[in-house]
Amino acid sequence: MCGFIGCDLKPFNPLIDALPRMLHVEAGSSGDWIGGVLRQAVAESRERRAGSDALLERASEMVFVDAARRYLDRLPEDASGWLAGLRDRHVGRALGVLHADPAAPWTLDELSRRAGLSRSALHDRFTLFVGMAPMQYLARWRMQLAAARLRAGHDTIASIALDVGYESEAAFSRAFKRLCGAAPSAWRRTDARMPPTPDAPPAGRNPR
């Protein structure tokens, strides 16, 4: 059985960047439940009953999350990177609150308080694991969220700017162009016309 999950790689996808190009989960290592999910996915793909697309989408996501989680469990204790940062008590807490509310007016002081470290200690520890400072990470994650909204094509740039934590469209547009290499309006137009890369699956998420 083959399948795929589509995801937004640009401008910033820390999870995909942290995973190896090929992730092999050995048969029997995932427990009985994943085998049942795969068998049900095969049945749904063959029968194409009402609701099959929704079930297949959820099944593919469950398989991916389980594989990524097992890869994280096998990382050595001294590993670095975004996934290892999730496992760290302080960096994981900082990542958790940033992802839970990326539009909040975060400062390093507030983030340090929530993570339980001093400013300098959090900066150094976050950079060690994630490869960039906390505020730099937040800016990039906001751009990833904004880019997804731009791809959808329904919201105004001004509303997207406010929703990802910028007080004005102008400030957001400057930050977006600096980090993504194009203005939001140009990104929206270009991304809509962009063909898939040679080794990428067609757009979509359901296993086939």
DSSP 153: T
CA distance 20 to 37: 24
Greater model confidence, 87 or 26: 87
Average pLDDT in the chain:
83
pLDDT higher at 20 or 91: 91
- Distance in Å from the first CA to the final CA of the chain: 8
Q: State the pLDDT confidence band at 29, using cuts at 50, 70 and 90.
A: low
Residue type, 8: D
Q: What is the pLDDT of residues 110-157, one digit of tens each?
A: 999 999 999 999 999 999 999 999 999 999 999 999 998 898 878 899
